Structure 1
Amino acid sequence: MDSDGDGIGDINGITSRLEYLKELTIDAIWLLPIFKSPMHDFGYDVTDYYTIDPEYGTAEDFEHLLKKANELNIKVVLDFVPNHTSNESEWFIKSLHRDEYYSDWYIWENGYLDSKGYRRPPNNWISVFRKSAWHYVPNRDQYYLHQFGISQPDLNFRNPVVVEELKSIIKYWLEKGVAGMRINAVNHFVEIDKDLFGGRYPDEPKTGRPGYGPDDYEYLDHVYTKDLEETYDLMSQFRDVFDAISLRDNLTRVMMTDASTGIKNAVKYYGEGIHYGAHIPFNFALIEDLTKELDARDMKYAIDRWLTYKPLRKPANWVTGTNDIGRVASRFRPELVDAFNMLVLLLPGIAITYMGEEIGMVNGFVPWTETKDQLACNTDDPVNFIDVSRDPVRTPFQWNNGKNAGFSAAEKSWLPVAEGYEHINVASQRSAVRSHYQVYRTLMGLRLRPAFRLGRYESLALNNEVFAFKRWYNDDAYVVVMNVGRTYQVVNLTAFDLIFGQLEVEASSVLSTRTFSDNVHANYLDIGADEALVLRMQV
């Protein structure tokens, strides 16, 4: 929400809408980066970790947010981006000028001259944002490493002074009253020790994947810049900071981590042995393992695989979207919004909802002329930029059917509002008898019951199109069943142990013909295309 009419969401705008989150019985809000930044990558390029960016508000605004959130018993979690800073930060400028204290805070390396006398970067490493991960600076006559945008130089995590400074930043915000932090891009923190290769960083091997060229991140296998073992020790060090303050205040501070990586690496962020890791290492199974052509078997495999790999006594977590990933309604189809919200909210573990998924928002359309995302702009392609642009999932939240969907009183919001906001908005869904918002609220109520908070879990692909899972605690049992196909199906829920007779509908997707308290037969359930139900066993 934009509170000051500049078209950009801000802290006071969030504060003004906290009652909406309370209405949904949300426990905590996680904010994307709010630190001072030139905004080349929307706050992921930080110049000062101790200061709120003026575009979003002041320190006083943030304290007011914390105060009101606390009154409503809503926790506030911040996004922390320590892999890199902005190239406009004081740290970087001092490092650039070889300041004695800051000189080694970033990854600096010499280039070389090729046979024709042209200057070349140290090796073939490629940025996540495409093209070389090295940028030459004449002032220092060296290249700096940037695994993301050119404006985002990587910090040197092999420098213990850098690590201690980052710990101090975590401590500062936790002591301010935030309930936790999500640490971004953790698996990019550490690069290979160049001393193992005679003092020069080695080339990374090519993947051989078809369709990718030398400028594409996927062209290389990132064995020297990603998922290095030392990262887990760093996470343990960071966790110590969270635990020390939690112990002092007798109030848990939550550490979340974000790493786009394989499942075996992902679950290691929970920690191993005596080393603790994150309370919540982000689980992207419902994003990365499911495609538009998903069927029930894919769903069972993706969910059960995470539950199998994660440590036995650690909580799972579920997320279907982020500010980088297309929305459920666009990635799959609008009819499956309720089914995916049932997964996020009723599977065992922690539920994370990206803003707007509770009302079924769709990706917006942002033309090349209005594109803000650095990743898209870096394609230099006004036709195919849309394939990588993250702007469509970042369009303004849709509060009502008014100007800028009620997000801002400005003539123009920072990104254009998505089409269809006239009916996909909070106001219209609040007043409707059946809507995604109403379903979401019902699911949040169910989530409080012991079967979903504490209960056991079992899942079945009843056929290729119908996925179901059972949650139960003592004699209280539920079956969540969803047809993710496009055809009418008949299934037998007695395939689950101790599910028989009649079941009662507790929640149903918007287009379902069934409503609360309807009865269905366990041994013969007819379920329409895209229909999703939460059923309770009658005792």
Structure 2
Amino acid sequence: MPSLLKVLGISFGVIVVVGVVVGSITWAVLATRPLPPPELKPLDWWENTIIYQIYPRSFKDSDGDGIGDIQGIISKLDHLVEAGVGAIWMSPIFVSPMVDFGYDISDFYNIQTEYGTMADFEELVEKAHNLGIKIILDYVPNHASTDSEYFKKSVDREPGYENYFIWADPIITNTSDRQVPSNWISQFGGSVWEWNEQRQQYYLHQFAIEQADFNFREPAVRNEMLNIMKFWFEKGADGYRLDALPHLFEANPNDHNGTYPDEPLSGDMFVRPDQAGYTTQVHVRDQIELYDVVYEWREVADRWTEANETDTKILLAEAYANISMTMLYYGDENNRTGAHFPFNFDFITSLSASSNARDFVYTILRWLTYMPRGNVANWVFGNHDQNRVPSRFRPNMMDGLNSLNMMLPGVAITYQGEEIGMRDGYVSWEDTVDVAACNQGNPDNYLEFSRDPARTPYQWDNTTSAGFSTNATTWLPVGLDYMELNLQAQREAERSHFKVYQALTQLRKEPALSHGEYHIESLTANTLILVRHLRTYDTYALVFNVGQEQDVVDLSTVSLLRDPLTVYISSIHSNRNIDDTIPLEGSLTLTAGEALVLRGSPT
């Protein structure tokens, strides 16, 4: 009989061997077993949506007066559904003398007659909501029309309204001449100070003379702004785009011996002394006090949402500022929250037709790097104040730029017409109506200042006035290219900007885009790649040649890509078709402006 020690030894050896074998088998099984799909956190309605900006005056005219209106928007809600839009933001529709086409509001509680009635607005809200489309209004807190009751009462020094606006006494020189309180220059040219004979004081206007700036150091003004916000929440608005926030405060005279300090000169030799940019503007924008107001608005919006048990009411900040000041709109280090996001204008201010792929990648990563953790990014390529995207970049880049907009993480924002590649319209000096151009321009240079070319009517089809109106005369002339470039033609074409746009909005529903991670790099000086990936789900990659010449790239250097790669979407100028195979190994040749969205196996 074997000894106990021997038995134990043999038994121990067996145990050890068996343990190793079993452990190896277990490890092998775990290594080959596919990981479960990651849990997809539910997103709030706005976090991955597409916001479509409508300039109401130019979207659709329903009554033949040559001016777009609310009923026109209602009649085209089907287009927004077809396009895959989740929310519409409308430029101002409130009562206004229309000096600045709605941004000079005289009655914040009613609808401009040429746009319709309150009943029309209520119908729009109901029908849009039934279609799953949210309504975002343009909230204009910085100023009011000089035709408003607020301003008239302030001129009269009516109790409660004396300090509703920024009033200042003149500076009297030794010769008794009346001088403006400071050298500050309006955004539309000329002094920000305008003399009011009745009140015998200057009032401040950072934009048109007819747009008097509110005094946000006056509690009554801040309370009234909250009343306006709550009123339209009650009417069904789902949020606000907050206009011109950098201009909400100016330097406090109490901090400067009771006077308004002069601005230092910028030194820009290409700007006239009466134009914005001649001075540095350190005293007239981005004052730190404005963030307290934004944080207060966010608190009110959140409380209103909670108290009324509605979907989230969102606030979007218009903020042309440096990156640090812009990020403060999200919130501060004291855990105060602000806007749901400040508009990201970097594609407007930092990129152009001459930018290369490295410029694009740097600009994108800059925002994502500075954005405070836990917040949502957004991407803006154009709006009613800027030249249209194909005119600012190049027409053959339109699909690639829309692809970037839709595939980057966060909220995509589309200005009306971008889905069909609308270009700037031609507006002669005689037809120019933009106050910025009229104030600063002349027949030789007005297009440097005019926003009219980006506001020409939407091109629906090739009928009278591009299908925008039954009237042959419209408030701005229709674009000269409307016979060829219009929505109807693109619906009927085998390939078109609109069909690319539709495919992109559908793609955004894929988990890799709604919840996945991103990787972006420049493959060459002219071609970038953006990869969106999420474990167990298909990977999608945008390859985009932003240059003006053919380019050759090697995709095998991108470790996140797996064979097989197939074309999911291609720009209309590409010779590649859907489901074409793109080899991971070897070279890929892209024509100028060509963009390909590729689908690959899960990572």
Verify same fold: TM over 0.5: yes
Report what 1:40 is aligned to. Answer: 99
Percent identity, aligned pairs only, is 45
Deviation at 1:216, TM superposition (A): 1.3
Distance change >3 Å, CA 458–CA 399, structure 1 → 2: same
Deviation at 1:495, TM superposition (A): 2.2
Checking the alignment, whether the CA contact within 8 Å between 1:360 and 1:436 is kept in structure 2 is yes
Report what 2:312 is aligned to. Answer: 252
1:313 to 369, 374, 379: 374
SS where residue 137 of structure 2 aligns?
Answer: strand
Give the TM-score normalised by structure 1.
0.99
SS where residue 303 of structure 1 aligns?
Answer: helix
SS where residue 352 of structure 1 aligns?
Answer: strand
Report what 2:409 is aligned to. Answer: 348
Report what 1:269 is aligned to. Answer: 329
Report what 2:281 is aligned to. Answer: 222
Report what 2:9 is aligned to. Answer: none
Checking the alignment, whether the CA contact within 8 Å between 1:430 and 1:437 is kept in structure 2 is yes
Q: Deviations over 1:305-326 (max 9, x none)?
A: 0111111210100010000011
Deviation at 1:117, TM superposition (A): 3.7
Q: Distance in 2 between matches of 1:208 and 1:486?
A: 34
Report what 1:532 is aligned to. Answer: 595
Report what 2:526 is aligned to. Answer: 465
Q: Distance in 1 between matches of 2:593 and 2:132?
A: 35
SS where residue 430 of structure 2 aligns?
Answer: helix
Q: Deviations over 1:158-206 (max 9, x none)?
A: 0011001101100110111111010101111011211111111111111
Q: Distance in 1 between matches of 2:388 and 2:256?
A: 43
Q: Distance in 2 between matches of 1:247 and 1:58?
A: 29
SS where residue 119 of structure 2 aligns?
Answer: helix
Letter in 2 for 1:532: A
Q: Distance in 2 between matches of 1:499 and 1:82?
A: 48
Q: Distance in 2 between matches of 1:86 and 1:477?
A: 51
1:398 to 459, 481, 484: 459
Letter in 1 for 2:244: A
How do residues 442-481 of structure 1 correspond to structure 2 at under 5 angstroms?
442-475=503-536, 476-481=538-543
Letter in 2 for 1:178: A
Q: Distance in 2 between matches of 1:448 and 1:248?
A: 31
SS where residue 599 of structure 2 aligns?
Answer: strand
Deviation at 1:233, TM superposition (A): 0.5
1:510 to 572, 580, 583: 572
Of 420-429 and 115-124, deviating more is 115-124
How do residues 316-465 of structure 1 correspond to structure 2 at under 5 angstroms?
316-465=377-526
Of 123-132 and 497-506, deviating more is 497-506
Q: Distance in 1 between matches of 2:281 and 2:167?
A: 19
SS where residue 203 of structure 2 aligns?
Answer: strand
How do residues 178-217 of structure 1 correspond to structure 2 at under 5 angstroms?
178-217=237-276
Letter in 2 for 1:379: Q
Report what 2:345 is aligned to. Answer: 284
SS where residue 533 of structure 1 aligns?
Answer: strand
Asked if 1:49 is matched to 2:111, the reply is no
Q: Distance in 2 between matches of 1:430 and 1:115?
A: 70
Q: Deviations over 1:194-241 (max 9, x none)?
A: 111111111111111221221111011111111011111100011112
Give the TM-score normalised by structure 2.
0.88
Deviation at 1:17, TM superposition (A): 0.3
Checking the alignment, whether the CA contact within 8 Å between 2:275 and 2:440 is kept in structure 1 is no
SS where residue 464 of structure 1 aligns?
Answer: coil
Asked if 1:497 is matched to 2:535, the reply is no
Checking the alignment, whether the CA contact within 8 Å between 1:493 and 1:500 is kept in structure 2 is no
Checking the alignment, whether the CA contact within 8 Å between 2:561 and 2:601 is kept in structure 1 is no
Runs of 5+ unmatched residues, structure 1: none
Asked if 1:25 is matched to 2:84, the reply is yes
Checking the alignment, whether the CA contact within 8 Å between 2:456 and 2:476 is kept in structure 1 is yes
Report what 2:122 is aligned to. Answer: 63
Letter in 2 for 1:483: N
Checking the alignment, whether the CA contact within 8 Å between 1:11 and 1:61 is kept in structure 2 is yes
Runs of 5+ unmatched residues, structure 2: 1-59
Q: Distance in 1 between matches of 2:102 and 2:571?
A: 37
Report what 1:75 is aligned to. Answer: 134
Letter in 2 for 1:81: V
2:235 to 151, 170, 176: 176
How do residues 116-127 of structure 1 correspond to structure 2 at under 5 angstroms?
116-127=175-186
Checking the alignment, whether the CA contact within 8 Å between 2:251 and 2:287 is kept in structure 1 is yes
Of 520-529 and 63-72, deviating more is 520-529
Deviation at 1:494, TM superposition (A): 2.3
Higher Cα radius of gyration: 2
Deviation at 1:114, TM superposition (A): 3.3
